[in-house]
Amino acid sequence: MLHRAPSLDATEWARYSVYRTVGTCDKEISLSTTTIRRSEKTRATMRDLARDVGVPMAEVVEQAIQLYRRQWFIAHANAGYAALLDDPEAWAEVEAERQA
């Protein structure tokens, strides 16, 4: 879920693009700048989503990457578990370890 940015004037918005408040605490973290090549279609999608949700495009990218990382992790964990289930000897070792 994308988080909505606070209402800011132009000066505050510029500052928000460099620093963002984490949760409700006063701790701020610095955001760095990286150039990423993307298609115009992807840029338009990012822009539209950022506008609709009310967050900077960098936040859209950050949250999309975190979601992708979680999906990748789960897919690989599931593949490893499926491979384990397909190997009766390995599965027997797991079951024996669970009962120990």
CB atoms under 10 Å from CB of 42, counted, come to 12
Four-point Cα dihedral 32, 44, 8, 28, nearest 10? -20
Q: How far apart are alpha carbons 89 and 52 in whole angstroms?
A: 53
In a domain, 2, yes or no: no
Q: Is residue 4 part of a domain?
A: no
- Asked whether the whole model's pTM tops 0.75, one would answer no
Q: How many domains, in total, are found in the chain?
A: 1
Evaluate if residue 16 carries a pLDDT over 80: no
Whole-number pLDDT of residue 34: 81
Domain containing residue 85? 10-99
Of the ranges 7-21, 23-37, 66-80, which one carries the lowest mean pLDDT score? 7-21
pLDDT of 22-54, one tens digit each?
444 444 556 678 888 999 999 999 999 999 999
